[in-house]
Structure 1
Amino acid sequence: MAARVLPLAFLCLMQLIASPFLVANADDGTSFDFYYLVLLWPGAYCTQSKCCPPTAGPPANDFSIRGLWPYSTLSGEPVTDCNSNPWSINQISSLRDELNLHWSNLKCPSNDGVGNWKSAWKTYGVCSGLNETQYFSTALQLRAKVDILALLAKKAIEPSLLYVHGVSDIENAIREGIGAAPLIRCSKGPLGLFQLYEVYICVDKDGETIIECPVKQSFTCSEEIFFTPFNLTSINPIDMVVAN
């Protein structure tokens, strides 16, 4: 009996080791293949529900960071919750001003964003192989490097409720600037029409090199979409629509 149980247990162990679930939740923080840099347009975000100004002051009138997600090509899923590396706000004290501008939290009630950053670190950052300071610094540097708002402006694609823009035009403007195709995510905006919501950009494990996405998320957009303005003086979505 014992001679038959041992091979069976061994085979079960090998199957578990090879499972995508374990690959996507590895403990060493290195079992991922690329990053998704996810950039959120706050003008679209604030049409979904009421937004509140952060307690640290208004964010930049620009695309903000939603996340920097390690991703597994094998599982097609984000790599999350790899370990229990501690969170400390002191580790990002030198980055607070930039984070307030470019990785803020517009949820109500008004908040200082710390809970958002802690969640990002505990969920995704611990899987990046970077320390806490490096993780947030890398995300900020990548956002500045791609500069989506400037790339769109070069092609006369600017926030407005008077015009719609082709999704392909938006994709091409960004591709021309960064050398790889972005993924565009839309949401329903004013009058129930689609609007630019998020831009996904794939980055190599080195945290620097923009690459073509090994895994492509499937998002629904119409052929033409709005680029909804973000009004810093009044971030109530109803006021935004009326003001523009």
Structure 2
Amino acid sequence: MVNRLLGSAALFAKPLRLLAPLLLLGLMASLVPARAQDRRQNAPGAFDFYVLSLSWSPSYCAEAEERGSGGRSQQCSGRPFSFVVHGLWPQYESGYPEYCAQPSPRLPRNIMVSMLDLMPAPGLIYNEWDKHGTCSGLPAKAYFETIRKARAAIKIPEEFLSLSDTRTVAPAAVEDAFVKANPGLTNAGVAVTCNRTRLSEVRICLSKELQFRACDEVDHQACRRDEVTMPPVRGG
């Protein structure tokens, strides 16, 4: 009886040993197209739309201060800022490209300096060019001109232009305020993000022609908290 059981086990084991390499080959085959697709997706200029990310500067500076680095930041030690441009990000309907040219073309210093009124941190400007700008398919000057045009197309609600005291807000109310201030923008095309306690960014989806559009994936990444705080504008 035992011998028969051992013989049966051996019969089953042999097909399994033959099947294992086939399963491994199938797994490898399923992975190769995905990797190739990722490489194609990082082709400069091959994207669906932009996300303009506007960072609430006082929140960033409060976090930098907690890390002990706030005083060293141009953004946090100079003139007061409210919403500043974090970046203009090429996006896919699902996911996004990044670092589309390695090494990235050198960003001329004069272009960096020209953007400090909107993006008051040299390191941020250089990083945004390397990570996102190279995916736009535009030369550096044209990419940053596009950032300026995108920012000019957005009206900041008056209640957020200058806060002299910390304000507790509902992320949904901030989103509604941007929709009200910008005709054509809908709730499906804007997302408010946050950390554990503070409002972080307002992200607005724009077509390549800088027209408002919906963006399901970005919208679904919005802050889910009922309330967050907005630290005051320094000097406001």
* One-letter code aligned to 2:50: Y
CA distance in 2, matches of 1:89, 1:24: 27
Q: Would you say the 8 A contact 1:58–1:101 is kept in 2?
A: no
Residue aligning to 1:16: 33
1:117 to 1:61, Cα distance in 2 relative to 1, 3 A: closer
Name whichever structure is richer in helix by fraction: 2
1:174 to 163, 172, 178: 178
Equivalences for 1:80-229 in 2 at 5 Å?
Answer: 80-84=98-102, 85-90=104-109, 93=110, 96-97=113-114, 99-105=115-121, 113=122, 115-148=123-156, 151-153=157-159, 159=163, 161=165, 163-178=167-182, 179-181=185-187, 182-188=190-196, 194-206=197-209, 208-216=210-218, 217-229=220-232
Distance 1:94 1:60, change over 3 A: farther
Instruction: Choose which of 79, 82, 93 in structure 1 pairs with 2:97.
Output: 79
> 1:221 deviation in Å?
4.0
Q: State the Cα distance separating 1:37 from its structure 2 match.
A: 0.9
Which residue number in structure 1 is paired with residue 5 of structure 2? none
Aligned pair count reads 198
Matched to 1:81, the amino acid is: Y
Q: Does the 8 Å contact 1:24/1:77 carry over to 2?
A: no
Unaligned runs of 5+ in 1: 1-7, 106-112, 189-193, 233-243
Amino acid at match of 2:119: W
Stretches of structure 2 lacking an aligned partner (at least 5 in a row)? 1-24
Q: 1:66 aligns with which of 78, 86, 111?
A: 86
The structure that has the greater radius of gyration is 2
Q: CA 1:139/1:89 → structure 2, altered by over 3 Å: closer, same or farther?
A: same
Please provide the CA RMSD for this pair. Answer: 3.1
CA change 1:116–1:163 in 2 (3 A) is closer
